[in-house]
């Protein structure tokens, strides 16, 4: 097993031998904190929409050059909900006496206030829950964040705030999803209602679970609706949300749930379906890991490319849950994601000296993410893209929810598959997975 002499996140400066080294975790924390602070701090103070509002002469809110004229108020829910989904695992960690903990504690305080403001009718930062069909999408990311951070973010909320969330989530039934991955947004919202003990629409859950299952095409990949598109929506939406819906169903309805009925009696168990769908995500994660080049890049294909590192969400989610497949070690996954993060936010595989700042690369003057990929280039935006959309990139940082003592962070750094292959090292071959032969069903 090949091991780096230096971790993928080591900091060095050729002209400064005394430059302090940063661990991979410190690199991740720096990026996540800089990304989250402008959103959560301003929203905690009830100023996010004021600060980002282009109508008041600011330039912090960016819209696609081909913007479809939808209500731009959706941008604030996009920024908040998508960031919450990536940030929540880290905020679940207990406090300690480290510098990281001080940052995390501050972010948790801001985030809790922001969560309250998001549904408070009196807050300037109440989100636009009635702002059109797009709220169906980002309401799902809000509840995904509340599910991922359940103990630290949902449980402590005042009852009146929880009641407001239940009301707003139920209100999203005014919108019906198109025949695509959007089925999972309604599935996520209704499954969360079930998870917290509220009334839920069983038909919307069952429809979502049935359709997504029909769209599985094999070898760890789902089609986005009836027709296949070569993009990263298996990472952005389909794999993570399908698994999390099934987890919530299994947690609240036990083994034999009527919400996932199929012709195969063995697959009527929610617990069995969770195992099967997780196995598919593991296969997709093996593919994603192989997509990461020796230089810390990945193929730029499909729509929604400005979501940046959200491409790697399944890898991050499985690492956070300690469910990586046997083909992927902690050291290689951490090193690969760190290489991408350094390339994306700092411009190189190895991290620069601590004097360098990532803010000039992917952020605008107000500290908000800017439309682009590596830097600002609005031409890569789709018609629905605004810079609130881009906080999907936080989803790659979920392993921060593991303590610094976890093997994910302490295991030696390793070369990832493409780095081994292109540097002449031995590397494992790849092959089609026969999921049906590898899954063991049990009640």
Question: Which stretch of 157-161, 272-276, 292-296, 436-440 has the lowest confidence by average pLDDT?
Answer: 436-440
Q: Which residues of 150-175 are buried (b: 16+ CB within 10 A; e: fewer)?
A: eebbbeebeeebbebbbebbbebeeb
Residue 352 scores a pLDDT above 90: no
Give residue 132's region: left, alpha or beta (phi > 0; psi -120 to 50): left
Is residue 221 exposed (0-12), middle (13-18) or buried (19+ Cβ within 10 Å)?
A: middle
For the CA atoms of the chain, what is the radius of gyration?
21
pLDDT the model gives residue 348: 56
Residue with tokens 């449980």: 155
Q: Residue 346: pLDDT band by 50, 70, 90 thresholds?
A: confident
Q: Residue 347: pLDDT band by 50, 70, 90 thresholds?
A: confident
Of residues 42, 56, 45, the one with CA closest to residue 388 = 42
Residue 10 scores a pLDDT above 50: no
User: Which two structure tokens, joined as six digits, stand for 338?
Assistant: 């760190």
* Average confidence (pLDDT) over 30-41: 97
End-to-end CA distance of the chain: 37
pLDDT tens for each residue of 385-422: 999 999 999 999 999 999 999 999 999 999 999 999 99
Instruction: Give CA–CA dist 165/188, Å, rounded.
Output: 14
Bigger pLDDT: 57 vs 280 = 280
Instruction: Give CA–CA dist 427/342, Å, rounded.
Output: 24
User: Which two structure tokens, joined as six digits, stand for 284?
Assistant: 């997709």
Do 373 and 393 meet the contact criterion of CB atoms below 8 Å apart?
no
pLDDT tens for each residue of 105-156: 999 999 999 999 999 999 999 999 999 999 999 999 999 999 999 999 999 9
Bigger pLDDT: 294 vs 358 = 294
* Average confidence (pLDDT) over 250-267: 69
Angle separating helix axes 183-195 and 239-253, nearest 10 degrees: 30
Domains of the chain (ranges; CATH) run: 24-438 (1.50.10)
pLDDT the model gives residue 263: 58
Instruction: Give CA–CA dist 282/279, Å, rounded.
Output: 5
């Amino acid at each position: 097993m090949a091991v780096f002499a230096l971790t993928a996140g080591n900091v060095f400066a050729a002209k400064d031998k005394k430059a302090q080294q940063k661990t991979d975790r410190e690199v991740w924390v720096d990026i996540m904190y800089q990304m989250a602070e402008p959103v959560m701090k301003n929203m905690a103070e009830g100023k996010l929409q004021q600060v980002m509002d282009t109508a008041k002469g600011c330039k912090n809110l960016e819209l696609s050059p081909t913007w479809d004229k939808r209500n731009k108020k959706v941008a604030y829910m996009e920024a908040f909900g998508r960031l919450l989904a990536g940030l929540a695992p880290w905020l679940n960690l207990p406090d300690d006496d480290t510098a990281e903990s001080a940052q995390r504690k501050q972010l948790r305080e801001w985030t809790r206030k922001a969560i309250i403001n998001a549904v408070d009718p009196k807050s300037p930062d109440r989100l636009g829950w009635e702002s059109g069909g797009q709220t169906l999408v980002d309401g799902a990311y809000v509840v995904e964040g509340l599910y991922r951070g359940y103990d630290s973010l949902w449980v402590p909320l005042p009852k009146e705030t929880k009641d407001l969330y239940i009301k707003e989530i139920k209100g999203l039934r005014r919108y019906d999803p198109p025949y695509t991955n959007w089925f999972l947004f309604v599935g996520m919202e209704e499954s969360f209602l079930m998870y917290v003990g509220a009334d839920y629409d069983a038909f919307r859950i069952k429809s979502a679970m049935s359709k997504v299952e029909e769209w599985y095409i094999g070898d760890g990949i789902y089609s986005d609706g009836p027709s296949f598109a070569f993009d990263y929506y298996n990472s952005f939406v389909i794999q993570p949300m399908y698994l999390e819906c099934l987890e919530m169903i299994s947690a609240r309805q036990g083994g034999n749930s009527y919400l996932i009925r199929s012709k195969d009696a063995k697959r009527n168990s929610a617990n069995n379906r969770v195992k099967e769908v997780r196995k598919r995500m593991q296969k997709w994660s093996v593919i994603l890991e192989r997509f990461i080049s020796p230089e810390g890049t990945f193929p730029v294909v499909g729509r929604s490319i400005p979501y940046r590192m959200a491409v790697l969400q399944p890898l991050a989610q499985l690492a956070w849950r300690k469910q990586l497949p046997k083909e992927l070690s902690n050291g290689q996954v951490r090193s690969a994601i760190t290489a991408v993060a350094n390339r994306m936010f700092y411009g190189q595989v190895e991290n620069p000296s601590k004097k360098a700042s990532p803010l000039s690369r992917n952020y605008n003057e107000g500290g908000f993410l800017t439309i682009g990929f590596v830097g600002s280039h609005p031409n890569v935006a789709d018609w629905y893209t605004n810079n609130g959309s881009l906080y999907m990139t936080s989803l790659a940082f979920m392993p921060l929810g593991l303590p610094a003592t976890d093997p994910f962070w302490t295991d030696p750094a390793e070369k990832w598959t493409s780095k081994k292959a292109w540097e002449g090292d031995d590397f494992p071959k790849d092959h089609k997975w026969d999921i049906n032969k590898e899954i063991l069903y049990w009640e």
